[in-house]
Structure 1
Amino acid sequence: MNWQQRIDNALSERRAAEALRTRHVVCQGAGRWLTIGDRRYCNFSSNDYLGLSQHPFVVRAWQQGAEQFGVGSGGSGHVSGHTVAHQALENELADWLGYPRALLFISGFSANQAVIAALTAKEDRIVADKLSHASLLEAASHSPAQLRRFAHNDVRQLASLLAKPLSGQQLVVTEGIFSMDGDSAPLCAISETVQQTQAWLMVDDAHGIGVVGEQGRGSCHQQGIKPDVLIVTFGKGVGVSGAAVLCSDTVANYLLQFARHLIYSTSMPPAQALALRAALQVIRSPEGDDRRQRLAARIAQFRRGAAQLPLAVTGSQSAIQPLIVGENARALRLAERLRQQNCWVTAIRPPTVPPGTARLRLTLTAEHQAQDIDRLLEVLHGGE
Structure 2
Amino acid sequence: MNTDFKSINQPFSNTVVVNGKTYLYFGGTAYLGIPQNEAFIDLYLEGIKKFGLNNGTSRSNNIQLGIYDAAEQEAAKRFLAEDALITSSGYLAAQLTVKLLSPFGKVIYAPATHPALWLNAAPDTFTDSFSQWKHHTIEAINSSEERNYVLISNSMNNLFPEIYDFDFLEEINPDKNIVLIVDDSHGIGLNNNGLGAFSELPKLKNVETVVVASMAKALGVDAGLVLGSKEIIQQLKSSNIFVGASPPAAAALYAFMHAKDLYQTAWEQLQQNIDHFSDAINLTWKFEQGFPAYLINYPNLATDLLKHHILISSFPYPNADSKPINRIILSSWHQPEDIDQLISVLK
Global fold match (TM > 0.5): yes
SS in 2 for 1:94: helix
Structure with the larger RCO, 1 or 2 (CA within 8 Å, 6+ apart): 2
Residue in 2 that maps onto 1:56: 38
**Does the aligned pair in 2 maintain the 1:43–1:343 contact within 8 Å?**
yes
Q: Is 1:92 aligned to 2:92, yes or no?
A: no
Moved more, 202-211 or 26-35: 26-35
1:293 to 268, 273, 283: 268
1:159 to 138, 141, 144: 138
1:276 to 240, 250, 256: 256
**Does the aligned pair in 2 maintain the 1:324–1:357 contact within 8 Å?**
no
What's the CA shift for 1:43? 1.5
Give me the whole-angstrom Cα distance separating, in 1, the residues matched to 2:213 and 2:100: 18
Moved more, 223-232 or 365-374: 223-232
How many equivalent residue pairs? 337
- 1:371 counterpart letter in structure 2: E
**Does the aligned pair in 1 maintain the 2:79–2:198 contact within 8 Å?**
no
Give me the whole-angstrom Cα distance separating, in 1, the residues matched to 2:63 and 2:249: 8
**Does the aligned pair in 1 maintain the 2:313–2:329 contact within 8 Å?**
no
TM-score normalized by structure 2?
Answer: 0.85
**Does the aligned pair in 1 maintain the 2:310–2:342 contact within 8 Å?**
yes
Residue in 2 that maps onto 1:209: 188
Give me the whole-angstrom Cα distance separating, in 2, the residues matched to 1:61 and 1:82: 22
- 2:333 counterpart letter in structure 1: E
- 1:243 counterpart letter in structure 2: G
2:196 to 218, 241, 244: 218
Residue in 1 that maps onto 2:336: 370
- From the superposition, tell whether residues 346 and 81 of structure 1 become closer, same or farther in structure 2 (CA, over 3 Å): farther
What's the CA shift for 1:344? 1.5
- Counterpart mapping for 1:35-50 below 5 A: 35-50=17-32
1:337 to 287, 304, 317: 304
- From the superposition, tell whether residues 179 and 109 of structure 1 become closer, same or farther in structure 2 (CA, over 3 Å): farther
SS in 2 for 1:362: strand
**Does the aligned pair in 1 maintain the 2:27–2:328 contact within 8 Å?**
yes
Between the aligned residues of both structures, percent identity stands at 19
Give me the whole-angstrom Cα distance separating, in 2, the residues matched to 1:159 and 1:202: 16
SS in 1 for 2:177: coil
What's the CA shift for 1:64? 1.6
How big is each residue's C-alpha offset from its partner over 1:336-369, in whole Å with a ceiling of 9 and x where there is no partner?
332332211121212379x856311221112222
What's the CA shift for 1:258? 2.5
Residue in 2 that maps onto 1:324: 297
What's the CA shift for 1:248? 1.7
- Counterpart mapping for 1:173-322 below 5 A: 173-187=152-166, 189-193=167-171, 196=174, 197-214=176-193, 216-221=194-199, 228-258=209-239, 260=241, 262-283=242-263, 288=264, 290-307=265-282, 312-317=284-289, 318-322=291-295
SS in 2 for 1:42: strand
SS in 1 for 2:24: strand
**Does the aligned pair in 1 maintain the 2:27–2:311 contact within 8 Å?**
yes
Unaligned runs of 5+ in 2: none
SS in 2 for 1:294: helix
- From the superposition, tell whether residues 73 and 271 of structure 1 become closer, same or farther in structure 2 (CA, over 3 Å): same
SS in 2 for 1:338: helix
What's the CA shift for 1:210? 1.4
**Does the aligned pair in 1 maintain the 2:87–2:223 contact within 8 Å?**
yes
Give me the whole-angstrom Cα distance separating, in 2, the residues matched to 1:117 and 1:343: 42
- From the superposition, tell whether residues 223 and 102 of structure 1 become closer, same or farther in structure 2 (CA, over 3 Å): closer
Residue in 2 that maps onto 1:349: 316
Unaligned runs of 5+ in 1: 1-21, 326-330
